[in-house]
Amino acid sequence: MLNSPDEEAPQPAGIVERLVRDDVDRKRFLKMAGSAGAASFGAFVLAACGSSSSSSKSASTAAATPTSTTASSATGDIGILNYALTLEYLETEFYSKVVSAGLFKGKVGSLIKTFGAQEASHVAALKAAVTKLGGMPAADPMGKFPITSATQVAELAYTVENLGASAYLGQAAKIQSPEVLASALAIHSVEARHAATLGTLVKKSVTPQGAFATPADMSTVLAAVKPFLS
């Protein structure tokens, strides 16, 4: 395990502030409940899935969702999306620093760059999703990471990606909106692909948890990433 329950109490101040702010956003969003709130659900599908023509169908369906249900369900989702956004910021910064350090060449270097770009695309999609739902995207936590050697970085990347996959899995059943859930799942399996790829790089199992991946709850994950917050 990443930490014991009694270690969960001290949280990184920045994260706590953001979660508190999210709560304010939640209340604000409840007040502005209306057709705009419902429409933002559909807009989120557009943001997350790109410009496929089938999105417009989804958007109009989503906009028809009863407003009261939409507003109350969106609030929890904003908190989850901002939590995911915080993790994606960290992953993006991590890969960016790894690429800058020039520790990897050739095929592995190319994969690292690709993964970094994919994490950045997750940041963009999650920011857009939070905004479309009427929330305020969490600020970039400006992570700090030890970058000493290729081996150390690969091990850390493997840990970070496995944690990210567990984090998404831990939230899946808590997401209210089917559209937000679909997008979270689309990201979740990509984090899993990254984790498996890094597993082959560090000669560790691609399925370290066996046949069933283990979810991690928010406090566990936030405690695990605390050392990487500046």
**Shortest Å distance, C-beta 119 to other proteins:** 8
With respect to other proteins, which residue has the nearer C-beta, 75 or 118? 118
Contacts of 206 (CB under 8 A, 6+ apart): 195, 196, 199, 200
Tokens of 31: 């007040």
With respect to other proteins, which residue has the nearer C-beta, 99 or 229? 99
Instruction: Check if the beta carbon of residue 188 is closer than 8 Å to that of residue 88.
Output: no
Tokens of 171: 């939230």
* Residue 24 CB coordination number (10 Å): 11
**Shortest Å distance, C-beta 227 to other proteins:** 25
**Shortest Å distance, C-beta 67 to other proteins:** 18
CA-CA distance, 120 to 91, in Å (whole number)?
A: 8
CA-CA distance, 230 to 228, in Å (whole number)?
A: 6
Instruction: Determine the distance from the C-alpha atom of residue 2 to the mean position of all C-alpha atoms in its chain, rounded to a whole number.
Output: 18
With respect to other proteins, which residue has the nearer C-beta, 55 or 73? 55
With respect to other proteins, which residue has the nearer C-beta, 22 or 119? 119
CA-CA distance, 122 to 132, in Å (whole number)?
A: 15
Which spans of this chain sit near other proteins (rule: CB under 8 A)?
A: 45, 48-50, 52, 54-55, 57-58, 61-62, 111, 114-115, 117-119, 121-122, 125, 165, 169, 172-173, 178-179, 181-183, 185-190, 192-197, 199-200, 206-207, 210-215
With respect to other proteins, which residue has the nearer C-beta, 69 or 148? 69
CA-CA distance, 24 to 19, in Å (whole number)?
A: 9
**Shortest Å distance, C-beta 87 to other proteins:** 14
**Shortest Å distance, C-beta 207 to other proteins:** 5
